[in-house]
Structures are given as C-alpha cells and as structure tokens.
Chains A and B, each alone.
Chain A
Amino acid sequence: MIKALLKNRDVVLGLILVMMTLAIAARFPGFIELENLRGIFTDTSILIILALAQMIVLLTRCIDLSIASNLALTGMIVAMINASSPELSIAVLVGVSLIVGFCLGAVNGLFVWLLGIPPIVVTLGTLAIYRGIIFLLTDGQWINAHEMSPAFLQAPRNIIIGLPVLAWVAIGLVTAAAVFFGWSKLGRALYAVGGNPVAAVYAGLDVGKTQFIAFCISGMLSGLCGYLWVARYAVAYVDIARGFELEVVAACVIGGISIAGGIGTIPGVVLGALFLGVVKNALPVIGISPFWQLAISGSVIIIAVVINARQEKTVGKLILRSSHKAG
C-alpha cells in the first residue's frame, strides 16, 4: 500500500514539500503558523493560475513563453481603463481582462495552427511584442496606486471565510480545471493530442485546432492574472512580471508536467507551484545571504525534479496480439 503510494509522483512531491516546510520551520518557527501559511498560499495564487494555463499548453506539446508579457499588457490595459474611468465596475474590468488575454492567446494559437510555426518561436516573438506594446501605450509611464480606484485595488483582497478573494479564485480555477481535464471531451482531447498526435488524428481530433484552443485558454487565464497582479501590487508599469514565464515553466516541470506533452496532473501542478511559493517566501525569513539565494533556489528546484523524475514507464498495450505474433 505504502509502496504503491510512493510510486505516485504527486504523493512524493507532496512529501518533499511538507518536509521542506518543516525544515524551514526548524530554523524559523513562525513559518508554519496558520497566518503565514495563508499568506504563502495567497502569494502563490497567481503562480498557480499561470501554471494551470501553462499546463494546458504543455499537454498539447506546445509552450507559451508569452504569458508573463500577456499578463503585463492586459494588466496595463485594465489599469489604464480604471484610471481613466474609475466608475466602471470591477466585473466589467475582469471581463475586459479575460477578453484581452483571450485575444493575445489566440494570436499565438493562430500562428501555431494555421502557419505551423513552432510554438517556442511564436511565443518568444510575442513575448517581446506584447511588452513592446506596453511601451507604445504608455511611453514608459507608470499607473500608480492613487490613480486606481479603491474598489479596483480592494476586490482581490476582500476576505471570504478566512481567505482573500485572490486565493479563492485560484482554488475555484483549480477545481474547474480538475473537472475540465477529468470529464470534458476537450480536456481529454488535450491529453490525447500531446500524448500521441498521430493516434489523435486517427481518433478524429484536429491537432492544430486543439492547440489553438489551448493557447486561447492559456491567454485568457494570463489576462485574468494581469488584473490580479496589478491590483495586488498596486502598480502597473512596463516591467511587471518580467521573467515570470520561466518561473511558471519551472513550477510545471517540478509538478511533473512533461515538456514533451501528454503527461501531467492537476495536483502535480498545484504542488509544483506551491513548492516554488514556499521557497520564495522562505528565503527572506531564514536569513540566507542574497548572494546565495539564486543558487540555492535553483539547486532546490533541480533536487526536487531529480527525486520526482523517475520516468513513468507506461507499457504500450498490445491490442492485436494475433497479428503481432504473425508479424
């Protein structure tokens, strides 16, 4: 029973996470206080949502490097709308962020689907383009806390049953994703397309179209994170979340999502993101020299992946034993 559990990657990652948290607590006891754990979860919420977005794309053998730029551009657009017309309700702005994010994701998807350009190339381009557009929109100006409406800043901070709305959004999306991947036709198609594209075609799936849809969903979630990020840090400027896309990919890899597509679970992604969240929140409080921090967080990531990366050897099922023998 225990042996079987230890073969499950998600369980192993969960154990690593708990052990690491306890080790940090041995050095800084306040770390495992409920209040602090709640803070870490809230702080990691945006990373969790983006990791879900990245997972959807990774499953289909693609990668979306533009998500942090999408976040920054959408966040800036929403902040500018709020600054110029503060009377607009938050629901409208959330809607705008979803639509803008969707469109930016769709651009990536169209290039991959219709022109057949490798996703890493397309999104590397849009990574720069989306951030460049922020420059064009703003001339490098910031949108600051006092220019945003109090409702805009407060919405993700409101506490419902002990947790801020930001954390609830992450929990809600994780639940929705679990249902989506487990039971919806499209969710299963994402796995199929990445796992074995040729077989997917024989099964009647349009690989390019499925990848396009994956990019659209990923873009939509990134757009939502744009609003959440700007509201959380109460500032919007060109450089927000620069380099965050790599952190998101790291969270996915730690969580056991295969870069080669088709493999990965929701609990894995959530644990991978929480793992990075714990590391990032622990480094400031355990008093490690800032010169060591980068090297340490990098090493911890590699160790986690190594422990967790026992290749899942799935033996292909032989369905036509007789013909196999004949051949």
Chain B
Amino acid sequence: MRFLKTLAATTALVMGMATATAQAAEVRIALVVKALGIGFFEAANKGAQEAAKELGGVEVIYTGPTTTTAEGQIEVINSLIAQKVDAIAISANDTDALVPSLKKAMSRGIKVISWDSGVSAEGRSIHLNPSSNALIGNMNIKMAADVLPGGKGDAAILSATPTATNQNIWIEEMKKVLPNYPGLNIVATVYGDDLADKSYRETVGLLKSHPSVKVIIAPTSVGIVAAAQAVADQKKIGEVFVTGLGLPSEMAGHVHSKATKSFAIWNPIDLGYSATMIAYNLVKGKADAKAGGSVPMGRMGTLQLDENMDGAMSDPFVYDASNVDEFAKIF
C-alpha cells in the first residue's frame, strides 16, 4: 500500500513537472513526419530544434507514425488536437486522406502547414516546397558552369524517360536560364530511363559521340550515379564531370572518386528550420497566410506565396567533398 502511494506520488510529481515544462513554452509546434526513424526527417527535426532555440519559448513536438501510412498520421493528428498544440507542420503520406482531420484541427484554432510532401489546399494554410522548378533548373546549370574553366564549354543532359514530367520541366527551366551563362552550350539530351544499365550505356555513348562534352548534368538520382560510374570506368575523371540531383548517401563514393565535384538536393535541416519558423510566425500573427503574401523564415529569408498558397524555400543545397560525408549519414 505504501509502495502504491509512493508510486502515485512520484507519478503525479513527474506529470506535474512535464506539464510545467510544457507550459513554460509559449508556443507548441508539432512537426509531423511521414514515419519515425527516417534519416531525412531526423535531420528536419534537428533544423526544427535549431529554430526553436533561436526563437525561444518554443517547444517542438517531433512525432509521426511508425510506418508511412495516412491512417497512422490521422491518429497522430487527433492526439495533437487533444493536446491543444498551437501549430501542426506536416509532411503528408497522402494528399487527400488527411484533409478531414487537418480541417478539424484548423477549426479548433490550430495553424496547419504542410512541407516536403503536401496536402490539398483545403487541408492546410501554407505548403512549403523545398525548392521550385525554376530554382532547380538554374542550380543545375550553375553547377555545370562552375566546374568548367571560365564557365565555358559543352554540356549534355542525362534524363530519365523522355516522358518524365518533372525531368522535362527541369530541362526546360535549364534551357531558359542558359543565356545567363554565355559560353555554356547544351549539345545533347539523352535518356537513361532511370535504369542503371541504360543510363550507364547512354553515358558511354555520349562520351563517344560527343567528345567535346565536359559536363554531364543528370537531374535524376539513378542517372547521376550511373553516369559517375561510367565516367570513372571510361577513365575520364578530371576531364568530364558529372553533376545534377542526387542523394548524399548515394553520391558520397563518386564525390570521393572526383567523378563528381558537386551536386544538389534539398537540405532537410533547412527544411525543418523553415517549417518551424513559418508555423511560429503564423501562430504569433506576424504573418498572414494569404495568396501572394510573404512569410519570414529566419535565416532562410522570406517565403513568397503563390496563388495556391505554395511557396519555395530556396535554391537546392549544394553538396561537395566538404560536406557530403556528414550528410551521407543522414539521407
């Protein structure tokens, strides 16, 4: 009996302390991810904690289901509504399935934004994209120009399939910014169909049919790895460089072999940081979520919203020999 009393007392005490810390934070922001235990999202949480520290008086609740399901996220959202958090920033497992529960959250005065993977417009106020097609296109061309002496020379694009929508939009954006980089020419576009062996073969063919090509831009994670391997096998390292979009864990080896000097993809730390900043500013009423408006996001600048209340965070983040190993551990 005495034991039980002690236990009850201790429990009460612990719970009291927990509530105390919770109350000490003025703003409680829930960072809901697709699933717990994924490196990319752990990194986003790191960024969110950084934002909380910078703002002060903010508690970030990092949560999510154990598997990437919409059902799991709905449960998480319901429990967050019960906890009366101030804001929910979610990377959604499904665009539509989460809308009813998120609507419920908004009707209780909780600010809802989506980031990384969005929900339909009626289920959130703002959606934060890691980048935009225009910024991605520009960054690919910039990295190609940076690797060429004086920014002049021939480049070729290794894409996925000829009908891949995102690839074609990025290639179009690349060609749009090309006039800003005089001396840089795109002489060929080839398609590796996002198959390792076809991408490899296309790269070998490219090196043969266009010997003047000094940079291969591959805005696809399968293509960039295969192209880097093909350049290494053709003994063209130092002569031909591969750049584009890829994941640090997949590209670390090729950066060390020097087949690739730099490549880009979003930075999950910045993404978590910005999502937290935006959520905080909405809660504090420092920014209005309206079409065409803008929301400040600390060190990442300002988020410009378009007519769908979507915004692009920044240029894709560039990875090179100096930081690739650190990020390879994350994603």
Count how many pairs of residues, one from A and one from B, have CB atoms less than 8 Å apart in the complex: 70
Is B195 a contact partner of A242 (Cβ separation < 8 A)? yes
Hey, which chain B residues are within 8 Å of A144, CB to CB? 225, 249-253
Q: B238 contacts the other chain (Cβ, under 8 Å)?
A: no
Known: A144-B252, A242-B195. A234 touches B225 (CB 8 A): yes
Cβ contacts under 8 Å, A142 to chain B: 249-250
Q: A235-B225, A281-B201 are in contact. Are A146 and B206 (CB under 8 A)?
A: no
- Taken residue by residue from 63 to 90, chain A's Cβ proximity to chain B (1 for < 8 Å, 0 otherwise) reads as 0000000000000000000000000000
| Cβ-closest chain A residue relative to B225 | A235
Known: A242-B195, A284-B201. A233 touches B229 (CB 8 A): yes
Instruction: Indicate whether B254 reaches chain A with its CB closer than 8 angstroms.
Output: yes
Q: Are A280 and B253 in contact (CB under 8 A)?
A: no
Query: Would you give 23 A-B contacts (Cβ < 8 Å), ordered by A?
Result: A28-B208, A30-B208, A142-B249, A142-B250, A144-B225, A145-B225, A145-B253, A145-B257, A146-B252, A148-B253, A235-B250, A239-B195, A242-B195, A281-B204, A281-B205, A284-B201, A284-B204, A284-B205, A285-B205, A286-B209, A287-B209, A290-B190, A291-B162
Does A175 lie at the interface of the complex (its beta carbon under 8 Å from any beta carbon of B)? no
Closest CB in chain B relative to A225 CB, distance in Å = 12
B221 to nearest A CB, angstroms?
Answer: 9
Determine the distance from Cα of A145 to Cα of B224 in the docked complex, in whole angstroms: 12
In the complex, A43→B197 CA distance in Å? 9
A211 to B228, CA, bound (A): 42
Interface centre among B205, B226, B253, B256 (most CB of A within 10 A): B205
Interface flag for B233 (CB, 8 Å) = yes
Residues on the A chain within 8 Å of B196, using CB: 233, 235, 240
A195 at the A/B interface (Cβ < 8 Å)?
no
0 or 1 for each of A245-273: is its CB under 8 Å from B? (1 = yes): 00000000000000000000000000000
Cβ-closest 4 pairs across A and B: A284-B205, A145-B253, A146-B253, A285-B209
| A28 touching B209, Cβ below 8 Å | yes
How far apart are the CA atoms of A241 and B204 in the complex, in Å? 18
**Which residues does chain B contribute within 8 Å of A157, judged by CB atoms?**
233
Interface secondary structure of B, over-half rule: helix
Residues of chain B having any CB pair with chain A under 8 Å = 162, 190-191, 195-197, 200-202, 204-206, 208-209, 225-226, 229, 233, 249-254, 256-257, 328
**Please, how many angstroms separate the alpha-carbon atoms of A144 and B253 in the complex?**
8
9 new A-B contacts, CB < 8 A, other than A145-B253, A284-B206, are A145-B229, A145-B252, A145-B254, A157-B233, A233-B196, A234-B253, A280-B201, A281-B204, A286-B209
- Nearest to B204 among chain A residues (CB) is A39
Bound-state Cα–Cα, A43 to B198, Å: 11
Q: Which residues of chain B are within 8 angstroms of A30 by Cβ–Cβ distance?
A: 208-209
Chain B residue numbers with a CB within 8 Å of A39 are 204
Q: How far is the CB of B139 from chain A (nearest CB, A)?
A: 22
Q: Considering residues A148, A233, A281, which has the most beta carbons from chain B within 10 angstroms of its beta carbon?
A: A233
* A299 in the interface (beta carbon within 8 A): no
Most chain B CB within a 10 A radius of its CB, from A28, A280, A290, A291 = A290
A196 at the interface (CB under 8 A from B): no
Alpha-carbon gap, A291 to B191, bound state (A): 10
Residue among B197, B202, B233 having the largest count of chain A Cβ atoms under 10 Å? B197
Contact B190 A284 (CB under 8 A): yes
Query: Which A residues are CB-close (under 8 A) to B208?
Result: 28, 30, 36, 285
Chain A residues lying within 8 Å of B200, measured Cβ to Cβ, are 233
